[in-house]
Amino acid sequence: MPDQPARPARPRVVIIGGGFAGIAAARALRRAKVDITLIDRTNHFIFQPLLYQVATAALAPSDITAPIRWILRSQRNAEVLLAEARDIDTARRVVRVDDDLRELPYDYLIVAPGARHHYFGRDDWEPYAPGLKAIEDASEIRRRFLLAYEKAEKTEDTIERDELLTFVIVGGGPTGVELSGAIPFIAKKALHSEFRRVDTRRTRVVMVEAGPRILPSFPEDLAQHAARDLADLGVEVRVNSMVTGLGSDGISIGTEKIRARTVFWAAGNKASPLGKLLGAPLDNAGRVKVNDDLSVPGHPEIFAIGDLATLSQDGRQVPGVCPAANQEGAFAAKSIIRDTRRQPRKKFHYFNKGDLATIGRSRAIADFGRVKFTGRLAWFLWLFVHIMYLVGFRNRLVVFIEWAYSYFTYQAGVRLITDVERYKPPASVSI
Ligand SMILES: Cc1cc2nc3c(=O)[nH]c(=O)nc-3n(C[C@H](O)[C@H](O)[C@H](O)COP(=O)(O)OP(=O)(O)OC[C@H]3O[C@@H](n4cnc5c(N)ncnc54)[C@H](O)[C@@H]3O)c2cc1C
C-alpha cells in the first residue's frame, strides 16, 4: 500500500468547483465538524442563466458573478483556493492542482466542475462559433455581436453588409432561444438610432436545431408557443436542420449554405474531463453515472454532482439545471454529515420546482406540471425568480435597476467592445 499523506483529525473535504453544486455543498457543511477546501480555477461564481444577457450587452459581467471567497467569507470551516484540479488519485486520496501538481489530501471529495460545450467531434468549429459557459465566452460573444454592426457601418459592399447583419445560433435549447430572442430587440430598439449608414432593423437571426422541435425539455405546446414568439420577433427557426459545415462565412446544412459572419454555438454539453479520472462508468456526454446517494461507484468517499453527474429517477434523467445542482450539492454534504454521525445514508430525490424560459421582452414560458402559462405573466415570474436567485444583494439591486431602466428606455446598457486593436479573428475558412 502506498504511503498516505498525514491526515488532520477532522475529516477533510475537498470540493472541486465553486459553481452551483460546489457552493451548495460547502454551505450545507457550514456547521459540520469538517475542514473544507474549495478549489476553483476562477475566483468567481457565475449565475449562468443570465450569461446570455452579458453576451447581448444587457448586463455587465460583475452583475451576475460573485467572488467565491466573498460568498464563503463567514464560513470558518472553509478555505478557498484559486487553483485548477489537474489530476485525482483515488487510491492515495489526493487531488493534484496547478502546474506543480501540488497535492491536496482528502477524506471526502466532492467533484463539481460542471460542463463545457460539445461540438460533437468538430472541435475545430469552436473558433468560428463560440459557446456560452464562462464570463470570457460571454465577453467574446458580446464583442463579435457588437463588432458585426461596427463593420457593417463601415463597408460599402452590400453583400458583406448583409452577411454581417446575419446571426446564426446553433441549438434550440433554452440558451439558443434566449440568445435568438434578445438579438432582434437590441438591433431594432437599442442600436437603430445610433447608426447612420446601416439599418440595424435589417438584422437577420437564424436559429438552427438538429432535432424535430425547439426546447425539447419543455412540453410540446409550450415549445410551439416559444417558436411562434420567436417568429413574431423575426427569428427564422429551422428545425430538423443538422449543421454539416461551419466556417468564417457561415454554416452549411447539407447542400444549403447560410452566409453569416457571426455564428454562436448553443447546441450541446460535454462534462468536465475530470469525470474520467474517477474510474467510474460515463454516459456519452462524459457524465459520471453515480449511485443513488450521488457517490461514485466503488468510492463512497467521492461524490460527483451537478452537470458532471447523471442519475435516473422515476425513469427520467435528473436534468442538468441549477436547482438539480443545488439540491445535489446540499445532499452530498448531508451524506457526509450522516457518515460523521454514523447514520445510514439516504437516496437522493430531485424535486422539480418548475421550468421557465424567456424568449425576449414580455415573452416567456412557464411549466409547473399541471399549471403552464406563457406571455407577460410568465416573463414577470422569470424576472422575479432570476433576481431572487442571484447571489448577493448588490447584484439583485443592480440587475433590478438595469432591467427596469432597459424596460422603460429600450436601451442595452453594457455595449462595450474591449481590446479592439488586439483582437485577432480566427483564420478565414470558407464553408
Ligand atoms: C448559458 C447557460 C444558461 C443556463 N440557463 C439555465 C437556466 O435558465 N436555468 C437552469 O436551471 N439552468 C441553466 N443552466 C444550467 C446551469 O447553469 C447548470 O446546470 C449549473 O451551472 C451546473 O452547476 P455545476 O455546479 O455543476 O457547474 P458550474 O455552475 O458550471 O460550476 C462549475 C465550476 O467548476 C469550476 N471548474 C471547472 N473545472 C475545474 C477544474 N479543473 N479545477 C477547478 N475548478 C474547475 C468552474 O470554474 C466553475 O466555477 C444554464 C447553463 C448555461 C451555460
Indicate if the pLDDT at residue 7 is higher than 90: no
Neighbours of 405 (CB within 10 A): 12
Whether 63 is covered by a domain: the verdict is no
Residue appearing with cell numbers 459553481: 19
Q: Is 178 a residue of the active site?
A: yes
Average of pLDDT values for 392-399? Answer: 89
pLDDT digits (tens, 9 = 90+) for 205-217: 999 999 999 999 9
Evaluate whether residue 111 is within a structural domain: yes
**Residues 23 and 162 both lie in one domain:** no
Q: Of 140, 150, 156, 178, which residue is the catalytic one?
A: 178
Report the DSSP beta bridge partners of residue 372: 367
Pocket mutation for ligand 1, best pick of 142, 321, 326, 385 (most atoms within 8 Å of C-beta): 321
Q: Decide if 415 is inside a domain.
A: no
For residues 187 and 379, what is the distance between their CA atoms, to the nearest angstrom? 21
Whole-number percent of the chain with pLDDT over 70: 97
- Number of Cβ within 10 Å of residue 64's Cβ equals 25
Shared domain check, 251 and 153: yes
Q: Are the CB atoms for 213 and 241 separated by under 8 Å?
A: no
Mark whether 253 and 298 lie in a shared domain: no
Whether residues 362 and 392 fall in one domain? yes
What is the identity of the amino acid at 109? L
Residue-level pLDDT at 383: 94
Work out the mean pLDDT of the chain and round it to a whole number: 93
| Amino acid letter, 268 | G
Residue nearest to atom 6 of ligand 1 (CA): 49
Q: Is residue 348 part of a domain?
A: no
In angstroms, the CA 203 to CA 187 distance is 7
pLDDT per position as a tens digit, 166-202: 999 999 999 999 999 999 999 998 899 999 999 999 9
Q: Name the residue range of residue 274's domain.
A: 12-41+83-117+269-340
Q: For residue 137, tell me if it sits in a domain.
A: yes
pLDDT surpasses 60 at 5: no
229 plus 361 within the same structural domain: yes
Please list, residue by residue across 203-237, b when 16 or more beta carbons sit within 10 angstroms of its beta carbon and e when fewer do: bbbbbbbbeebbbeebeeebbebbbebbeebbbeb
Q: Is 48 in the pocket of ligand 1 (CB under 6 A)?
A: yes
How far apart are the CA of 249 and the centre of ligand 1, in A?
Answer: 30
What does DSSP assign to residue 274? G
- The pLDDT of residue 1 is above 50: no
Residue 9 has pLDDT above 70, yes or no: yes
Q: How far is the CA of 256 from the centre of ligand 1 (A)?
A: 34
Digit-coded pLDDT (tens) for 268-303: 899 999 999 999 999 999 999 999 999 999 999 999
Q: What is the pLDDT of residues 47-89, one digit of tens each?
A: 999 999 999 999 999 999 999 999 999 999 999 999 999 999 9
Domain count, the chain: 2
CA atoms within 13 A on the CB side of 60: 14
With a cut of 70, say whether residue 2 has pLDDT above it.
no
